[in-house]
Amino acid sequence: MSALNDRHVQERLAQSYALDRLWSEIMGLTSGDTKEKPLREVIAVVDAMATAYAVIGGIAMQLHSAEPRTTLDIDLAVRSFAEVPRDALAKAGFLHDGRHAHIDNWRAPGTGPRAHRTPVQFSAEDVGIDQAIARAQVVDAGGFQLRVAAPVDLVVLKLAAAEEPRRRQTKRLQDLTDIVVLSREFPEVAPALPGLQERVNRLAAKLLTVGRDRGGPER
């Protein structure tokens, strides 16, 4: 299994925060807003409550992929919704934003409008989550530790999301792209997932069409 280097993690997160600041300037939001503080805050909460978790989604892709990228969300996998530390999150200033089938949505603390606060999403009770948490790598994120899902587990999670017909087509396409990127950059992924190429082929045939986005509720 490919291991992350602490220095690499810190450099990639710094790039991500810089892109956050650029996005804020472009969108006319509060100067200096990044997801660094919300990330530190939510990890402090889950650590204090001894909640088993793994960083997934865009932040994990930022750390594992060769090309720099960023994300507006913080995505954490937990084993069940019962393990989301709701009371501790609320006490720390996080706002609950509702729940869908496999995601519990929150907003980070802050004084700005709710819609401008960093989204924090807890994924639970879905295929591959338990393994992602069990095999997560602990890294130094610059003064605090993160548990980051391994590439093979990210692919499993992204396959499940991309194959969800109610999910927005544009997001399913991004999941498909991430699967291809991870599979190419990490040779251990394809052998660990028999039938991966066939599933990718089916997804590509289904998603690479021009037409109306018929996605339903967010996954």
What is the domain-level CATH number for residue 25? Answer: 3.30.460
Query: Which residue segment(s) compose the domain that 121 sits in?
Result: 6-150
Residue 1 has pLDDT above 60, yes or no: no
Alpha-carbon span 189 to 184, nearest angstrom: 8
Do the domain assignments include residue 174? no
- Residue 146: inside a domain, yes or no? yes
Is the entire prediction scored with pTM above 0.85?
A: yes
81 is a domain residue:
yes
Tell me the HSE value of 106 on the side-chain side, using a 13 A CA sphere. Answer: 28
Residue at 192 is within a domain: no
Q: What is the mean pLDDT of residues 104-114?
A: 91
| Closest C-alpha among 39, 21, 38 to residue 30 | 21
Evaluate whether residue 210 is within a structural domain. Answer: no
Q: Predicted confidence band at 96 (pLDDT cuts at 50, 70, 90)?
A: very high
Instruction: Examine residue 179 and state whether it is found in any structural domain, yes or no.
Output: no
At residue 211, the pLDDT reads 59
Domain count, the chain: 1
219, pLDDT greater than 60 = no
User: Would you say residue 32 has pLDDT above 70?
Assistant: no
**Is residue 37 situated within a structural domain?**
yes
Q: Is 144 a member of any domain?
A: yes
Q: Across-strand partners of 40? A: none
Mean pLDDT value across residues 63-90: 93
Looking at the chain, the number of H-run helices and the number of E-run strands are 9, 7
Q: How far is CA 178 from CA 16, 23, 50, 82, 154, in A?
A: 17, 22, 30, 29, 9
